[in-house]
Amino acid sequence: MAVWFTSDTHFGDRRALNIDRRPYPDLAAHDAGLIANWNERVAPEDTIWHLGDVAVGPSDARIADIVGALNGVKHLIVGNNDGPGTLALRDWASVGHYAEIDVEGRRLVLCHYAFRTWNGIGRGALNLHGHSHGKLAPAPRQYDVGVDVHACAPVRLDRILASRRRKKPAEPSP
């Protein structure tokens, strides 16, 4: 069973198409594409942490349909756009504003928002966040897990860490 992370899906939010320049022609394709990407990666028994801003605009019933269609044991870290209907869904294994978890031997501090400092930073803990839609400059041990950074799909910790590894310089041509 894998552990996945995502944020800022903004299902039903027309702003995501324009402001975030997501690669979908319309809102229906956006929502269907995000659901398909999620379910292609996340198995029903996998754990997934959604770090906020699930949906903006759809009715509570539509949000329930969307979240119900997503694979995995789903945990929600509340974002600034998550309304009462989203928070009350029975599909969440947990709902909170903050969490500290261990994955693959790493301590992770989860919040919708990026921190300047966090518990365990001096002992190697990582801060995973959303909210910024890839617009914050990277900081050491801090990673944006939003769909705008990770090809409109959830991401695992190994890929999150690999996203910042320095590439070896190319060998000079003869």
- Structure confidence at residue 104 (pLDDT): 94
Average pLDDT of the residues in 81-94: 97
pLDDT tens, position by position, 128-153 = 999 999 999 989 999 999 999 999 99
11 Cβ contact partners less than 8 Å away, ≥ 6 residues apart: 30, 31, 34, 54, 55, 56, 58, 63, 66
pLDDT tens, position by position, 13-63 = 999 888 878 999 999 999 999 999 999 999 999 999 999 999 999 999 999
Dihedral sign (CA 8, 14, 15, 17): positive
pLDDT band at 165 (very low <50, low <70, confident <90, very high): low
Stated pTM of the model = 0.92
